[in-house]
Chain A
Amino acid sequence: MRKQSITNLSLPDFSKTTTIDQVGVEERVARFQTRSIKKESKVQGLKLALNMIDLTTLEGKDTEGKVKQLCYKAAHLHDIMHGIPTVAAVCVYPTFVKLAKKQLEGTGIKVASVATAFPSGQSTRKVKISDTHFAVDNGADEVDMVISRGEFLEGNYSYVFDEIAAVKEACGAARLKVILETGELSTLDNVRRASEIAIYAGADFIKTSTGKISPAATQPVTLVMLETIRDYYYKTGKMVGMKPAGGISTAKIALQYLVMLRETLGDKWLTNEWYRFGASSLANDILMQLQKEQDGVYQSGDYFSKD
C-alpha cells in the first residue's frame, strides 16, 4: 500500500521548468520593498505576520525548561495588549514534541518538529523515516524535513524525490514542510528545481532554510519559490504553502515578505494555513511595532518578554 502511493507521484518534467534571471528577480524584490505600508494597513499586516510565526528553538542546548517557556510565550505573546493573535506553531526537535504538545493543549497552536537528521540531513533513509515516525507518534502536527543537498547537487534528483515522498508517507496526517536549505544550493535555478522536486513529491509546504546556514531566507529565493508554487497551482489547482525561515528578525522585513506574498500568490495564501515565518526574535519586534501604532511611541525592549 505504501509503495502504491509513491508510484502515483513522479518527477516533474524539467524541460518545462522556466529559467531564472537573478538580476530580474532582484529588481522585482526591490519593488516589494518600496511599497508603503502605514497605519491600519500596517497594523493589519503586523497581526497577520504575528499569526504566521513558527516560534522556533533548535539548539543543542535546548532543555525541557526552555521549551516550556517558549510554549508559554507562544500562547501569551503580550497579554497586556488586546486583540492580538497567537503565533501559528512552535517548532522544536523531536525529543521535545511530547512536552510541547502538552504545554500547548487547547491553545490551537500547532507543534512542528524538525526531523530527518536535521540540519545536515546526512543519514540513511531508515534513520530519517524513524526520526519522522518518532515525531509524529509523539503528536507533531507538522514535520519540517531537510532534503539531501549533496545528492541534489550531484544530480540525483530521483533520490531526493523518493526520499521526500517516503518521508511524506511517514508523516501520515501531519503536514510536511520540506527545507531546501537554499543557502547551499548556490543558484536560483537550483532553488527552482529543488522546489519543483519537493512539490511534486508531495510537500505541503516548501521552506527556505534550517537557520543553521548563512544566508538563510532571502527575498529573491522566497520569490522564486512562490513563483514555483504559483506555477504548480496554475497547473493543478492545488495549493502549497511557503515558509521562509532564518534571518527575518524585524517587522519591517516581515511586511516586505507579506507584500511579496500578496502580490505573487494573492489573498488565498494570506493565512497561516499557507504561509509561515520561521523565526525566534521576530515576534517581539512585531509586538513592539504594534504597541507603537497603538500608543504613538516606542517602548523599551524590556517591556516585552524574552523567552
Chain B
Amino acid sequence: MATTAEKKKQNSLGLGDSKWAYAPSPESTSHINLKKQYELFIDGKFVKPSSGKYFDTINPATEEKLSSIADADEKDVDKAVKAARKAYDKTWSKLPAKERGKYIYRIARLLQERAREFSVIETLDGGKPIRESRDIDIPLAANHFFYYAGWADKLEYAFPNRKPQSLGVAGQIIPWNFPLLMAAWKIAPALATGNTVVLKPAETTSLTALKLAELIADSGLPDGVVNIVTGAGRTGAAIVNHPDIDKIAFTGSTDVGKLIQKAIAGTGKKATLELGGKAANIIFEDAPIDQAVEGIVNGIFFNQGHVCCAGSRLFVQEGVADIVIRKLKDRLETLIVGDPLDKNTDIGAINSKQQLATINKYIEIGKKEGADFYQSKCSIPSKGYFCRPTLFLNASQSHRVVQEEIFGPVLTVQTFRTVEEVIEKANNIPYGLSAGVWTDKGSKIFNLTNKLRAGVVWANTYNKFDPASPFGGYKESGFGREGGLHGLMPYLKF
C-alpha cells in the first residue's frame, strides 16, 4: 500500500505541466488495391495509350511514386470520343430514363461500399487529410450520384412543358483539389440527363478517377458511356478541340478557362466554366466571435486552402478586430499539420511541388508588399510538400496577395468600419464565386446577400456543400451552375 507521502506525490503529479501529445494514428493502407500502372478507360476497357508513354503520380506527403499513369494524346482522345458517340447513339440515348437512373444508383452504392479504399487513395495521391477525404470528399461524391440518379426519370417534371433533351457527348476536365468529388459533380448530372462522357482528371491526381473507372466497369454501365483519359494540358486541349464534342465542362484556373472559351468560340459547343475565386469572409461586430473564428479557419485552411471558394480574404469590423485576430492566432497553434493519413491531421500536404512553389512565391510577394506576415509555430515534416498556416495582417486592397488567387493556406486580413465599405471592398475583385457573412442579425445577412456579387454566400458558416444546392460563379469565376436542379440545365437543350 502506498504511503501518505507517495499519495501526496501522486496527487500532485504535475500532469498539467507535461504536454499531453496525441499519439500518431495513421489510417492503414493495407486494404487498398493499387496497380503499378494504369491504362486509359475507353469503351469499357482499359487500353494502352497509343504513344506508349506514361507519367508518374506521386504521394505529395512523401514524394514517393505511387503508380504510372497513361499519357493520352490526340489519337487516344479521338478513340474515347468515338466510343462515347457510339454509346450515345446506340445505347444510352435509347435507354428508358428510369434504367439510366438505376445505373447511376448502382454507381452511388458501389462508391459507398468502397468508400474506405477511395478515401485512402484520395489522401495518398492528393495530400488531403484523411479526415476530409473520409468525412467529406467521398461521401459527398456518392451523394451526388444518388441525388442525380433521382432526377434521371423526372426531367420532364424538373422543366415542365420544355421538352428537355440530352446534348450528346460531354468533354469534362477536372482539377486536382477534389479529384473524385469533381468527377462526381461532372459525371452524375451528365449521365442523368442522358449524355455520354469523356473525362480527364488532373495529372497529379488521376488515381481515384481511374478507380472510379474500375467501379464503373464493375457496375455494368454500357461500354463507352463513361470514358476516362489521363494526361496533362495537351490531353485537355485535345478534348476541348475535338469536333465531335457537344459540351465542355471545365473546373480549374481562370487562365485555362479563358483559353477554353477562346478555343470553342464559334464552334457551337456549350460550356460551363467553374474557375478561380478570392472570396471575402466578413466578420461583423455582432458576430458569434468564437464560431466565426472556426469559420475563418474552415474557410481558408480546409483542404490546405486548395479550394476555389476558399474564404481567402478576411474582413473584420474594427471594433472586434483585435480579439478576432488574437483568437485566430491562438487557434492556428492547435492546427496539426503533417501526415495526411493520420486521423488527427488538420492540414495535409500541398498537392504538388509546383503548387508549393506558387504559394511560396506569393508569401515572398506579400512580405515585400509590407503586410504583416504571421505563421503558426507548428512543426512540419522535413520530407514532402507542406506549408504552415499563414496570415497577412493589415493587408490592403492594393496588395497582390489580396487581389490574386493563391490557392494555398494563406489568409489576408483587412479591417473595415461600415457595411457600405465592406461591400465595396468585397466586390472589388475580378472574381465572384463565394463569400461568407458572420452576424447575429438576420436583416444584415439578407442585405449583404443581395449586394455581394458572389455565386454562393454562406451566412454564419463556410464551405458547406450539398448535392441539392447549386454552385458556380459570377465574373471571372466562370458561368453555369453545378449541383441541384440548376446543375441539370447545362447538359440539356430545350
Mark A residues whose CB is within 8 Å of B: 18-21, 23-25, 27-28, 34-42, 44-45, 47-48, 51, 75-76, 79, 84-86, 88, 106-109, 227, 231, 234, 258, 262-263, 267-271, 273-274
Chain B residue numbers with a CB within 8 Å of A258 are 20
Chain B residue numbers with a CB within 8 Å of A75 are 7
B232 part of interface (Cβ distance < 8 Å): no
B158 part of interface (Cβ distance < 8 Å): no
Chain B residue numbers with a CB within 8 Å of A79 are 1-2
Residue from B11, B291, B460 within 8 A of A108 (CB atoms): B11
A268 to B290 CA separation, bound complex (whole angstroms): 20
B33 part of interface (Cβ distance < 8 Å): no
A249 to B461 CA separation, bound complex (whole angstroms): 32
14 A-B contacts (beta carbon < 8 Å): A18-B287, A21-B288, A23-B291, A24-B288, A34-B135, A35-B22, A36-B344, A41-B20, A47-B13, A76-B1, A86-B10, A88-B11, A107-B4, A263-B334
A48 to B13 CA separation, bound complex (whole angstroms): 9
| Contact, CB under 8 Å: B15 / A44 | yes
A233 to B20 CA separation, bound complex (whole angstroms): 22
Chain A residue numbers with a CB within 8 Å of B15 are 44, 47-48, 51, 85, 270-271
Chain A residue numbers with a CB within 8 Å of B295 are 24
Smallest beta-carbon distance B38→chain A, Å: 32
| A18-B288 contact given A23-B461, A41-B22, A267-B16, CB 8 Å threshold | yes
A182 to B291 CA separation, bound complex (whole angstroms): 20
| Contact, CB under 8 Å: B290 / A34 | no
| A19-B461 contact given A37-B22, A109-B11, CB 8 Å threshold | no
| Contact, CB under 8 Å: B20 / A270 | yes
A-B contact sample (17 more), CB < 8 A, given A35-B344, A41-B23, A48-B16: A20-B291, A25-B291, A34-B131, A36-B343, A38-B25, A41-B20, A41-B21, A44-B20, A48-B15, A79-B2, A84-B10, A108-B12, A234-B326, A262-B20, A263-B334, A267-B20, A271-B14
Smallest beta-carbon distance A289→chain B, Å: 15
| Contact, CB under 8 Å: B344 / A19 | no
| Contact, CB under 8 Å: B22 / A18 | no
Residue from A23, A34, A45, A268 within 8 A of B20 (CB atoms): A45
Chain A residue numbers with a CB within 8 Å of B344 are 35-36
| Contact, CB under 8 Å: A38 / B23 | yes
Smallest beta-carbon distance B269→chain A, Å: 42
Chain B residue numbers with a CB within 8 Å of A45 are 20
A23 to B294 CA separation, bound complex (whole angstroms): 12
| Contact, CB under 8 Å: A270 / B343 | no
Residue from B13, B286, B461 within 8 A of A85 (CB atoms): B13
| Contact, CB under 8 Å: B286 / A19 | yes
| A267-B17 contact given A23-B460, A27-B294, CB 8 Å threshold | yes
Mark B residues whose CB is within 8 Å of A: 1-2, 4, 7-8, 10-23, 25, 131, 135, 286-292, 294-295, 323, 326, 334, 343-344, 440, 460-461
B13 to A, closest residue via Cβ: A85
Smallest beta-carbon distance B5→chain A, Å: 9
Smallest beta-carbon distance B444→chain A, Å: 12
Smallest beta-carbon distance A269→chain B, Å: 7
| Contact, CB under 8 Å: B7 / A227 | no
A36 to B19 CA separation, bound complex (whole angstroms): 16
Best-buried of B4, B7, B15, B334 by chain A (most CB within 10 Å)? B15
| Contact, CB under 8 Å: B23 / A24 | no
| Contact, CB under 8 Å: A85 / B16 | no
Smallest beta-carbon distance A215→chain B, Å: 21
| Contact, CB under 8 Å: B286 / A269 | no
Chain B residue numbers with a CB within 8 Å of A269 are 16
5 nearest A-B pairs in the assembled complex, by CB-CB distance: A24-B291, A271-B16, A36-B25, A21-B288, A41-B23
A26 to B, closest residue via Cβ: B291
Smallest beta-carbon distance B343→chain A, Å: 4
| Contact, CB under 8 Å: A108 / B8 | yes
| Contact, CB under 8 Å: B22 / A270 | no
Chain B residue numbers with a CB within 8 Å of A41 are 20-23
Chain B residue numbers with a CB within 8 Å of A27 are 291, 294
Smallest beta-carbon distance A110→chain B, Å: 9
| Contact, CB under 8 Å: B19 / A267 | yes
B298 to A, closest residue via Cβ: A27
A39 to B2 CA separation, bound complex (whole angstroms): 26
A39 to B25 CA separation, bound complex (whole angstroms): 10
A126 to B358 CA separation, bound complex (whole angstroms): 70
Chain A residue numbers with a CB within 8 Å of B289 are 18-19
Chain B residue numbers with a CB within 8 Å of A274 are 16
| Contact, CB under 8 Å: B326 / A39 | no
Chain B residue numbers with a CB within 8 Å of A85 are 10-11, 13, 15
Residue from A19, A40, A47 within 8 A of B288 (CB atoms): A19
| Contact, CB under 8 Å: A21 / B16 | no
Smallest beta-carbon distance A263→chain B, Å: 5
A274 to B290 CA separation, bound complex (whole angstroms): 21
A47 to B15 CA separation, bound complex (whole angstroms): 9
Best-buried of A19, A40, A76 by chain B (most CB within 10 Å)? A19
B346 to A, closest residue via Cβ: A31
A44 to B17 CA separation, bound complex (whole angstroms): 12
Smallest beta-carbon distance A260→chain B, Å: 11
Smallest beta-carbon distance A14→chain B, Å: 13
A239 to B18 CA separation, bound complex (whole angstroms): 18
| Contact, CB under 8 Å: A48 / B20 | yes
Chain B residue numbers with a CB within 8 Å of A84 are 10
A23 to B8 CA separation, bound complex (whole angstroms): 43
A47 to B16 CA separation, bound complex (whole angstroms): 11
Smallest beta-carbon distance A16→chain B, Å: 9
A36 to B, closest residue via Cβ: B25
B290 to A, closest residue via Cβ: A227
| Contact, CB under 8 Å: B288 / A39 | no
A42 to B11 CA separation, bound complex (whole angstroms): 19
Smallest beta-carbon distance A257→chain B, Å: 13
| A39-B4 contact given A109-B11, A271-B16, CB 8 Å threshold | no
Residue from A19, A38, A268 within 8 A of B440 (CB atoms): A19
Chain A residue numbers with a CB within 8 Å of B13 are 47, 51, 85
Smallest beta-carbon distance A186→chain B, Å: 17
Chain A residue numbers with a CB within 8 Å of B326 are 234
| Contact, CB under 8 Å: B16 / A273 | yes
A268 to B11 CA separation, bound complex (whole angstroms): 17
Smallest beta-carbon distance B107→chain A, Å: 28
B289 to A, closest residue via Cβ: A18
Smallest beta-carbon distance A64→chain B, Å: 23
B4 to A, closest residue via Cβ: A106
